[in-house]
Amino acid sequence: MAKPTTRLTWCKARLGEDMNWWVQEISDPIHWDIDGLGIIDPRQFQHIIDLLEPLSDYGLQNDLVDDAFYSFGIDNIEKDKTVLLKRVQDSVLESEDPLFALPDVLDEEKGPYADFVDHITKLRVKLLNDLIDFAQNLTVEELEEEIREAQNADFMEGRASHFFTELTAILEYVPEGFELDEDDDDAKPKSEDDKLEKDLAAVDADTEVDEKIEEDDTMKWDEEEEEDEDDFEETTAPPDDEDIDEDEEDDEDEKS
């Protein structure tokens, strides 16, 4: 969806030491404060899209995602290594070109980006409550509190909080002491074929264990047979010459 703002037509971004992109200049300095203003690069935004995918099953609204960002394409790379970005009207979700995404934070409390963050926070909590057996359901307030604590820690250490860090913190959030493997098909089989495949894999695993056990038992029997053969060899070994001479002397004494 096209944004109504016409003054925002370009911006310059620089790559920070934290490997995030930060806005250095902007066409609309009256409405935009560039102090600590981050912008999400194409690679980062693709990662965000990947993290959003599981939320589709929980009611993700793509319109809210699109409305939350201004799209920018690369126009030129300057000599000072800054990148000149030009505003485009393409959807940041549907465009085939790599686009930078600037969150719409003109209204930090009730703007499109704030609505988007609120939306994905609720969906992430819903997903976690669905996939993890908590003693008591996780709440949105608990997730938000941990995110704020992390942001406050960055602020106290003099680090600006980047939008990419904020979004990934929400989309990858798992409460301390718990683990969530969203790629684990054991939680929810996608189909009967997937379930069958997992069952067969389990059978194969059990077979391997049984084969190892049988092999170990066979090896034990082999060892016992070897020990019996050794004992037999010891008992049937020929007598020493000294023993033979002693026996002959005893026989002669008896005859005499």
Kindly give, in sequence order, each residue whose CB lies less than 8 Å from that of residue 193, ignoring residues fewer than 6 positions away: none
Rounded to whole angstroms, the Cα distance separating 135 from 173 reads 18
pLDDT in the model for residue 213: 42
What is the token pair recorded at 150?
């992390």
Question: How big is the chain, counted in residues?
Answer: 256
Residue-wise pLDDT for 199-256, tens only, equals: 445 444 443 444 444 444 444 445 555 555 555 445 444 555 555 455 555 555 544 4
Tell me whether residue 27 is exposed, middle or buried, using C-beta atoms within 10 angstroms of its C-beta: 0 to 12, 13 to 18, 19 or more: middle
Residue-wise pLDDT for 45-58, tens only, equals: 999 999 999 999 99
pLDDT in the model for residue 180: 77
pLDDT in the model for residue 129: 95
pLDDT in the model for residue 1: 47
- Model confidence at 76: pLDDT above 50: yes
Kindly give, in sequence order, each residue whose CB lies less than 8 Å from that of residue 48, ignoring residues fewer than 6 positions away: 40, 164, 167, 168, 171
What is the token pair recorded at 27?
């066409």
Residue burial 70-86, b: 16+ Cβ < 10 Å; e: rest: bbbebeeeeeeebbebe
Rounded to whole angstroms, the Cα distance separating 173 from 121 reads 10
Q: What percent of the chain has pLDDT over 70?
A: 68
Sheet containing 83-88: give its strands across. 38-39, 21-26, 10-15, 83-88, 69-77, 100-103
- The average confidence (pLDDT) of the chain is 79
pLDDT in the model for residue 190: 40
pLDDT in the model for residue 154: 80
The model's confidence at residue 151, banded by pLDDT at 50, 70 and 90, is: confident
Residue-wise pLDDT for 157-200, tens only, equals: 878 889 999 999 999 999 988 887 654 444 343 444 454 455 44
Rounded to whole angstroms, the Cα distance separating 23 from 84 reads 10
The model's pTM: 0.68
pLDDT in the model for residue 98: 93
pLDDT in the model for residue 184: 46
